[in-house]
Structure formats: structure tokens, C-alpha cells
Amino acid sequence: MGVTAILGGQWGDEGKGKIVDYLAKDADIVARFSGGNNAGHTVINDQGEFKLHLVPAGAFWPQVLCVIGNGVVVDPDALLDEISGLQKRGIDLNGRLVVSERAHLVMPHHTVLDGLSEIAKGSQALGTTGRGIGPAYTDKAARIGIRAADLSDVDALLPRLESVLDHANAIITKVYGGEALSLEEVFDSCKRWSENLSPFIGPVEHIVYDAVEGGKTVILEGAQGALLDLDHGTYPYVTSSHPTIGGAQTGLGLLPRQIDAVLGVFKAYSTRVGSGPFVTELLGETGDTMRERAKEFGTTTGRPRRVGWFDSVVARYSTRVNGYTSLIINKLDVLDDFDSIKVCSHYELDDEVVWDFPGSAGALERCTPVYEELPGWDGTTAGVTKLADLPDEAIAYVRRLEELTGVPVDMISTGPHRRESVEVRSVIQT
Ligand code: IMP
């Protein structure tokens, strides 16, 4: 029994949703701890294909309690739409979903401010998902956020909402020349959210603590990835939360001793959405082939993802930040048709050899990748479920990733469906 964190090792979109859905068969709780509906987790199982943004990917196993922790920012309308969309497809979350009373809400002014600030930044824009995530975390830190608990007494909330909205409207109108939001309309939304979301709001920290101490199996579902972490990522081209292991603790009120395993999820190559340095990016025909093969278009925004070779400088850094006990390599099948496959072992920067990921975005922009070239494989990995059925070269590729990162691989994913998975060792701590 234990607590296993499933974390994104790169820039998000590593396929964590599929892995959580697969592993949740043995879980009692699946808990999100950071980010918001900027995340987009695709899950394909025997019930169909689902795109989740806030609801944890444990939703498809009836024994699983889905939890949204205090570290998540929750857009109430997005969550309610997701709950009812799942309900229509036979996934009932009543009594199976708890949102922390301490979770901050993504308010309508946050979404407006996200859009306006991106436009104002012009060529310096971050390429956010436009879901209001940065402004929601900004208000949380500025202590002018609205939390799920506030929906339990909307009349008491009104005076604070008025002052919060005055502040937001001043920025919207005076800084950006936008249109002010109406207090009445936002308050009406709060009343509606209070009515519809209240049954899902509860004391998450206590529920999770009691479950862990009672020996239950808990999966911590990461969103985004280590390189998008506000502190550890490629700042300023990051998200505004902590998708790393520290975020899992503060985002759920967990104790360090309660986390038993940390699984780092990586694609067999790299992708990134939005602006920012990406040393192994492929801009030519190889990149286009990889993008099309892998259908690399954002789940949340539909934007084409930037693609590149596996970067072990990134992977070693992300391992250092998160302390992975093992790795999961996703989308190996995307590399099936390549004659040879490159892996970046280290960088060169101003004629110096660089093994450790630089902290400055400027330095990263000047880094060039140094590649090893490994042979591609005859045959296919797509849909393979047993290690022995993988081509030797594909196994050799995965082994090389283990050597370059210093962490054993527990599982390989060979397709989007839950069943297209190869267990290399036992993955969940029992
Ligand atoms: P924000 O989180 O919407 O503020 O966006 C900040 C940066 O993080 C942008 O580059 C986004 O593309 C990126 N980002 C946010 N969420 C995800 C995700 O779930 N997958 C990949 N990139 C993301």
C-alpha cells in the first residue's frame, strides 16, 4: 500500500492521463494537486475516448475517490461542464469527487486578464492556454483570491467580491483598455456555483491524510511538467504552479514521509507548447513527420506542439528536482518508422560542454545539442504489451535512456489505449 506520484518529466503532455488511468485500477484515491484546466489529459479505455482538464483520470474506476487538492485552481464552470459531460457518458462522480475547500477559483476576470496580458506582451507573449491560470495564482499570492470555501456563504462573500472585482476592473480598463466585468453577473455566477458545486466541496487534506495513514493506495496525478514549474522550469516561459514533487505535498497537505514512489513520465522524444527555449527542437521535415505521426496538437487549445528529440539534460535535471524512483516512457511507437533515432546526451554552450541544465533562458537559447545516434528498429512497437515482443533496438533505446538518466524504466507505453502498455517491473507500490 502506498502513495505514488505520477509526474510530468518534460514540458507537460507526456501522457500522464493514460498512465494514471492504467494504474488507478489498484487505487483508492486519485488526487490532482496543481494547475487547473490548462491541463488536458487524454484517456482512451474500454469506455471510450475522454479529454479531462480538471477531473482526475481515476474517474473511470468505480472504487476510486477523485480528489482536487488545495493547490489546484478550479474554474467552476469548466469543472461543472466536465462533471456533466462525464455523467452523460455514464461516469457518475456523485459521491466520488471532492474539491478542497481551500482550492482557489479561476474567476471570470482571471480569464479576461490572461487574454489581455498576453496581447499586451506582443512578441514577448508566453503562449498561455488562456484559461486564467496565471492571474488566478497571482491573486492567490496577493491574498485577493476567492476559494471554494467562500461558496458556502455567498452573502458573506459579496463585499469581498466587490473589492476584488473593483481591483481587477481597474487593471482591465485602465492598464489594458478592456471592458469592466459586472459585479451583478459575477455574483450571480457565484450563487449558481454555490448551488451546483457545494456537494463536491470538502476537507480534502483530512480525507487524504486519513486514507494514507489507513494504508489506502493513493495516486498523486501531476499536471504539466517539471520544465513548466514556476521555480524549476524555464522561467518566465512556465506555468504559475508547481507540477513538481514539492507541489504534490503543499497542494494536498501531504507529509514528505507519506510519499513512497515518484514516477517520472517522459515521452520517448520531446514536445513543448507555447514559447520558450527548447534545445532539441526539430524545425524541419523530421519534426513535421514526428508531429503528424504522434498527432501532437494540444488537448486544451488544439495548438500544434513543438517537437524534438529526447533531451537527457532535461531528464537528468527533472530527475534531480523530483527524485524519480522510476521512469515511464510513453509513445515509443511514434519512433517506429525512423531509420535512426537521436538522443541528446549533453549541450555545448560558448565552446563549453554542459551536462547540467542551465538556469537562464538566455543561456539555454545559446545551447546546442550534442546527439548520440541509435539505430531504428525493423518492425513495430505499436500495441505491443510484452517486453519480449519489442524489437531489440527498441529495448536498447529504452536502456540507453535509463543509462543517461540513471533511473530504471518501469513501464513503456506503445499506444494511446489503456491496454497498449508494457510493464517492465511492478509499477505501483504495494
Ligand atoms: P498557462 O499555464 O496557461 O499560464 O500557460 C503557461 C505555459 O505553460 C504555456 O507555455 C502553456 O503552453 C504551458 N502549459 C500549460 N499547461 C500545459 C499543459 O497541460 N501541457 C503543456 N503545456 C502547458
* Model pLDDT for residues 241-267, shown as the tens digit of each residue: 999 999 999 999 999 999 999 999 999
Judged against a pLDDT cut of 80, whether residue 428 lies above it is answered with no
User: In this structure, are residues 16 and 222 in contact, taking their beta carbons and an 8 Å threshold?
Assistant: yes
User: In this structure, are residues 128 and 138 in contact, taking their beta carbons and an 8 Å threshold?
Assistant: no
Answering whether pTM is above 0.85, one says: yes
- 339 is annotated as an active-site residue: no
Q: Is 239 in the pocket of ligand 1 (CB under 6 A)?
A: yes
Residue range 375-381: mean pLDDT, rounded? 94
Three cell numbers, residue 71: 493547490
Q: Residue 46, exposed/middle/buried by CB under 10 A (0-12, 13-18, 19+)?
A: exposed
* pLDDT tier at 207, thresholds 50, 70, 90: very high
Tens digit of each residue's pLDDT (9 = 90 or more) over 24-36? 999 999 999 999 9
Grid cell 483570491 in the structure block, residue = 145
The residue annotated as part of the active site, out of 13, 28, 114, 311, is 13
Judged against a pLDDT cut of 50, whether residue 430 lies above it is answered with no
Q: Is 134 in the pocket of ligand 1 (CB under 6 A)?
A: yes
* Gap between the Cα atoms of 415 and 210, Å rounded: 36
Lowest-confidence pick of 29-43, 258-272, 281-295: 281-295
Which pLDDT score, from 0 to 100, does residue 429 have?
A: 44
Tens digit of each residue's pLDDT (9 = 90 or more) over 355-370? 999 999 899 999 999 9
pLDDT averaged over every residue in the chain: 95
Which pLDDT score, from 0 to 100, does residue 302 have?
A: 85
Residue 228 CA, closest ligand 1 atom number:
8
* Gap between the Cα atoms of 310 and 307, Å rounded: 10
